[in-house]
Amino acid sequence: MTVLITGATGFVGTALVDRIVREGRWKVRAAARHGMGTLPPGVERVQCEVGPSTAWERALDGVQVVIHLAARVHVMRERARDALAQFRRVNVAGTLNLAGQAATAGVHRFLYLSSAKVNGESGLYGEADAPAPQDAYAVSKHEAEVGLCQIGATTRMEVVIIRPPLVYGHGARANFGALMRAVARGVPLPLGAVDNRRSLVGLDNLVDFIVTCATHPDAANETFLVSDGEDLSTPDLIRRLGRAMGRPVRLPPVPPALLLQAATWVGRRDVAKRLIGSLQLDITKAKRQLGWSPPVSVDEGLRRAVAPR
């Protein structure tokens, strides 16, 4: 089987390509922008940038499965005047352009890495819950999902949608990377009074789930939430991260309301809300329908995340 992976040199893509190459079951064709990252020997590289007019014919030739990871990701400090338009150009128009050409080329299955942010920013969610995207990134991901489902309903190509929460692992950036750096430096984190629950997914668990969904017959035309299956409070995550790093942690117990107020003053309210709020994913569907369970524990996932390479 030949699989085309977009975003193949990114955080998730690199780990996915390495896993597939290591197992040797599939032939990998990797789509990546010019000059972005390196690939293992034996992986065919095609230069493609996801956009509304990209021509994918050569990249799709002989491909049975597309795993679409490439996206304009959530931007912590957005500078675009019309952020939604920028997200839509890549995440909606670019995705649907690729999917339409994939269906025409006879691709059997199109797997799309979406985001739990499609469900919302706080609460306990299952696949049956109505989407409630709240920022431009999440809106674009949801719109892409809707378009993909329409393509799946009107062609012979199967569509699989995966919505992960925050992904952690070696090389993680954004919020988890900042948290790792703070713990490594021994910075006091005033989160000791936070009592929340958040679902996370380790990189190896996400990759394992993607591989499962690429071929499992019961994944066809379905949407799945995925996580480690163990929800953590923010203080618990920091303590376990500290143990994995062999570093002591300091968690002064500042009231969450005060943290939120202070974060609002400095323009970081959204970051604070994620640190003190709850977001939990019910992965019962993935377990029952696909027989999948996370192969790597949270503590082992954190150990792998901080291990030197």
Task: Return the HEC string of 161-190.
Answer: EEECCEEECCCCCHHHHHHHHHHHHCCCCC
The pair of three-digit structure tokens given for residue 43, joined into one six-digit string:
């992986």
Cα separation, 25 vs 170, whole angstroms: 24
Task: Confirm if 225 and 282 have CB atoms less than 8 A apart.
Answer: yes
Task: Confirm if 20 and 3 have CB atoms less than 8 A apart.
Answer: yes
The pair of three-digit structure tokens given for residue 148, joined into one six-digit string:
């993909």
Q: Is 168 a catalytic residue?
A: no
From 112, 125, 137, 168, the catalytic residue: 137
Starting from the edge strand earliest in sequence, which strands make up the sheet with 2-6, in order? 44-47, 27-32, 2-6, 65-68, 109-113, 158-163, 222-225
Cα separation, 93 vs 99, whole angstroms: 10
Q: Give catalytic residue positions.
A: 137
